[in-house]
């Protein structure tokens, strides 16, 4: 729990309780295949420091944000080279199911509905 809010990325992924297939890792960032993908190729990129969302990034986080964006760029380039394109997105506020800054890099058809059921 982080600030009383369950945080899957801190509580499960970064703690090692939930194993993920890593795509790229730096001292400050982690890219991994989504544990419950919504698209044919679905990668999540997170900072290792807890930051609630993009609007919560502070001036002291600029170096971390630069690292995070570098990882997003590398992962996106890899997906683009393999598949010819991808979508990169992040959510804020009520659109954010997990209150830890994270970016989705995905390609292909949707394979799961928003309620989690398979398409």
Please identify every residue annotated as catalytic: 102
CB neighbours of residue 39 within 10 Å:
18
Longest CA span, the chain: 42
Distance from chain centroid for Cα 31: 7
Per the CB < 8 A criterion, the answer to whether 36 and 112 are in contact is yes
């Amino acid at each position: 729990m982080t600030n009383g809010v369950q945080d899957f990325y801190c509580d499960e992924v970064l703690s090692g309780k939930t194993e993920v297939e890593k795509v790229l890792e730096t001292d400050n960032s982690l890219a991994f295949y989504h544990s419950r993908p919504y698209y044919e190729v679905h990668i999540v990129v997170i900072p290792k420091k807890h930051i609630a969302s993009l609007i919560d990034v502070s001036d002291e986080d600029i170096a971390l944000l630069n690292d995070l964006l570098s990882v997003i760029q590398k992962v996106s380039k890899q997906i683009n080279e393999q598949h010819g394109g991808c979508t990169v997105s992040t959510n804020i506020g009520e659109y954010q199911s997990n209150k830890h800054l994270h970016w989705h890099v995905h390609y292909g058809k949707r394979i799961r509905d928003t309620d989690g059921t398979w398409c």
